Chains A and B, each alone.
Chain A
Amino acid sequence: MARDGEFTGPEEDIFLAALDGELNEDEQGRFERNLAEDAGFRERFERYRQTVELIRRLGPRPAPESLLPSVQRRITRRAVDSAGPVLRFPYELLVFVVILGSLFYIYFGMLPPAPTEVSKRAVPATVELELTSPLPAEIVARFELTDPGDSAGGARQYYGRMSRDRAAELFSAVTPFLKDKSPPTLPAANRLGILLTAPLP
C-alpha cells in the first residue's frame, strides 16, 4: 500500500525481494501479474526501481590520491613518536638523581669532620692524676697550670691544656709528686687536658 508517496506494509517486502531477486516462483508470478494489472503498483515499483538503480549507478567514490600518502606519513610519525620514550633523555631519572644527591649532601656534608682530623680547637682528652703533695710554684708557672687554690673538697687542683709532648714533659717533672710514682700512658689525642689533684698539707 502507498501512503503519502511512501510504501509501507507487504509492498515493502515485495519490492525489496523483487530487487534482490529473492522472490520464489509463486511470488514472482503474483508480482508480475500485479505489475501487469495494477497501474499504481507498476508506477510505484518503477519509481522505486529507478531510484535504487540511480543510487547504485552513483557507485562508490574512489578515495583521493592524497589519502594513502597522508595515512603512511601519519603512521610513520606515530611509530617514531611511540619509540620516543625509549630514545629521549631521561629527565625524570635526572631529577631523581639530583634530589637524591642533594639529600646526601645535606645529610653527610653537614656532619663534623672525621675524628682523624683533630683540630687544635677540639676538646682535649683529660688525664687526671693524684699527687702526694702540692706542686712547687716553679712547676706551676713553667707549665702554665691554673691554680685555683683550695677547693671545696679539701684538695688542691691544678689544671692545664697542652700538647702531647708538653704533657709528657710535665709528667716527667711531676713524677716525684705522683701518688703511684709511675708516669701515666698518654691518650692518642694531640692536645690534652691535665688535672692534677693534691691533698692539702
Chain B
Amino acid sequence: MEAWEKELVARAQQGDRKAFTRLVIEHQNRVYSYLYRMLGNAYEAEEVAQEVFIAAFRFIAGFRGEGSLCTWLLRIASNMYKNRIRYNVRRKRSMESCIDDKVEQPDYRPIGERPENPEALLATQQMENALHEAISRLPEDFREVLVLRDIELLSYEQIQELTGLAEGTVKSRIHRARSQLARLMSGHLDGEELV
C-alpha cells in the first residue's frame, strides 16, 4: 500500500468521510468490474458494490493494513457476491436470466479505445457479449480466479491472499478456467485475429 493510500486509510479510520470518498474513487472500478463479471448483471453489480463500500466504511477501523486495501475490498466483494448468489438462489432466480441485460450495457471504454468502424464496433461488441456469457457459464470457483487474474490483473499472491487458496490450486484453477473458456469460445476464436 502506498503512502498516500495509507494516509487516506488512517484518516478514514478516524471517520473522515472525504478521505473515504477518495478511496472509493480509487477502487470503485476494480470492485465494480469484479462484481459485474461475477454476477453478470450491471444493476446487481452496482447494488452489491454499494454494499461493499458501505461495509468497508463500517469496518475500515478494523483494517490493519497487513494486505493491500484493494485485496481487502475485493474480499468483502467476494463475500457479498456469494451472499447475493445464495439470495438469488433462494429467490429461484437463475443466473442465466441475469445476463439478459448485457447487450444493452453501454460501452464504458474511453472513446479512443473503441473501434471507429461501425462494423468493427459491432463485431467487438458481439465478441465481448459472447465472452461475457462464456465467463458467466464457468463454475464459480474457476470464474473467480479467472476474473481476478485476467481481468483485474491481480498477482498470484494477491489471489491467494484474497481466496485463501494455495498457489498450486490458484494456478490450476486459472488454467482450467482458461481451458474451459477456450472450449466455450472455440466458435468465436476460429479465424479471429487478435494480435
Contact = CB atoms under 8 A, between A and B. Distances in A.
B29 A6 contact: no
B32 A47 contact: no
A173 B150 CA distance: 124
Interface residues of B, number: 50
Interface in B135-190: 135, 146, 150-153, 171-172, 174-176, 178-183, 185-186, 189
B151 A55 contact: yes
A120 interface: no
B77 to A, nearest CB: 12
Contact of A7 (B17, B54, B128, B175): B175
B189 A61 contact: no
A94 interface: no
Given A51-B182, A55-B131, A60 B50 contact: no
A67 B192 contact: no
B42 A64 contact: yes
A39 interface: no
Contacts of A110: none
What's the interface size class on A, roughly? 35 or more
Q: Is the interface of A mostly helix, strand, loop or mixed?
A: helix
B27 to A, nearest CB: 9
A47 B108 contact: no
A97 interface: no
A68 B31 CA distance: 12
B151 A67 contact: no
B33 A78 contact: no
Contacts of A60: 29-30, 33, 151-153
Interface stretch (A24-32, A69-77, A101-109, A150-158): A69-77
A16 B171 contact: yes
A60 B74 CA distance: 14
Most chain B C-beta atoms within 10 Å of own C-beta, residue among A70, A71, A76? A71
A162 to B, nearest CB: 82
Contacts of A47: 182, 186, 189
Interface in B14-70: 17, 20-21, 24-25, 28-33, 36-37, 42, 46, 49-50, 53-54, 57-58
B175 A62 contact: no
Given A6-B179, A62-B108, A66-B46, A50 B131 contact: no
